[in-house]
Amino acid sequence: MPFHPHAQPNFRNMVIRPMWMALKAALRTIPYVGSHRFLAAHGTSAPYHAQEAQMIDEGTAARIGENHPSVGQRYAVDRETSSIVPYIERPVTVMYPYERLEDLEPWLFVPGNYNGRIGVIWETCTACKACVKACPNSCLHMESETRVNVLDTTEDGDEWDGMGSELEVGGMAARRNEVDNSDYNLMLEHNAVPQEYDFGSVIDITGDTATVRWDGGG
């Protein structure tokens, strides 16, 4: 049998409490009523509903200004509060943007808390980062990538094994490192995929010896 009193299979826990929790969730959507103290928490837990939350950092606030619509608001699951009624809902939309992403074809999935999907035309994008600077919620980021063909690396025993198919002074070189991404889950990880190659600039080629300045040093 369960030890916790709320886990006992009785009429109170299986009927009354679920109905009361559903009623509280509905009452929280009503202006003025939703901010009442008895709706701010669940049982003896700390208050979490209709609490003040700092959604952006000081740098972002200084960049977008005090009059931006995203400043001084609280966010609901499906609506944005106004300056007249700024306390309707628990702030969940902005605080948890990566929760419960679709596992199947995530690049085509539009989460329910968003109004659209981000699309990039790779052929015309120049990585100017203007979109990153203009985003009021700082939800975009961009990293500069070293462009070098690592798919045509030579076979074992060849002259430039592990350094790329063609080397020239002033060009780029690539070599496989010891990073193993076999356990990396693209659907669940929030961080970028670790680089499996080291990149560097070829500064000199003398005979069979190439001098390379690797980006990570060495």
Pairing of strands 209-214, 197-206: antiparallel
Token pair recorded at residue 172: 């780029």
Structure-model confidence comparison of residues 114 and 172, the more confident one:
172
Rounded CA-CA distance 199/187 in Å is 26
Q: Is the pLDDT of residue 111 over 60?
A: no
pLDDT in tens, 121-133: 888 888 888 888 8
- pLDDT on residue 61: 78
Span 65-78, mean pLDDT? Answer: 61
Where b means 16+ CB within 10 Å and e means fewer, 3-24 reads eeeeeeeeeeeeeeeeeeeeeb
Rounded CA-CA distance 8/4 in Å is 7
Which is nearest to 152 in space by CA: 139, 161, 142?
Answer: 161
- pLDDT on residue 72: 64
- pLDDT on residue 147: 61
- pLDDT on residue 95: 43
Q: Is the pLDDT of residue 28 over 60?
A: yes
User: Is residue 95 within a helix (H) or strand (E), and if so which, with residue range?
Assistant: none
* Among 43-47, 98-102, 108-112, 132-136, the least confident range: 98-102
Q: What is the mean pLDDT of the chain?
A: 70
Rounded CA-CA distance 47/201 in Å is 56
- pLDDT on residue 94: 41
**Is 113:77 a contact under the CB 8 Å cutoff?**
yes
Which residues, 6+ apart, have CB-to-CB distance to 200 below 8 Å? 172, 173, 174, 175, 212, 213, 214, 215
pTM: 0.31
- pLDDT on residue 163: 54
Measure Cα distances from 79 to 66, 74, 94, 121, 204 in Å: 21, 10, 11, 30, 60
Span 148-156, mean pLDDT? Answer: 54
Direct distance between the N- and C-terminal alpha carbons of the chain, in angstroms, rounded to an integer: 63
Rounded CA-CA distance 51/57 in Å is 18
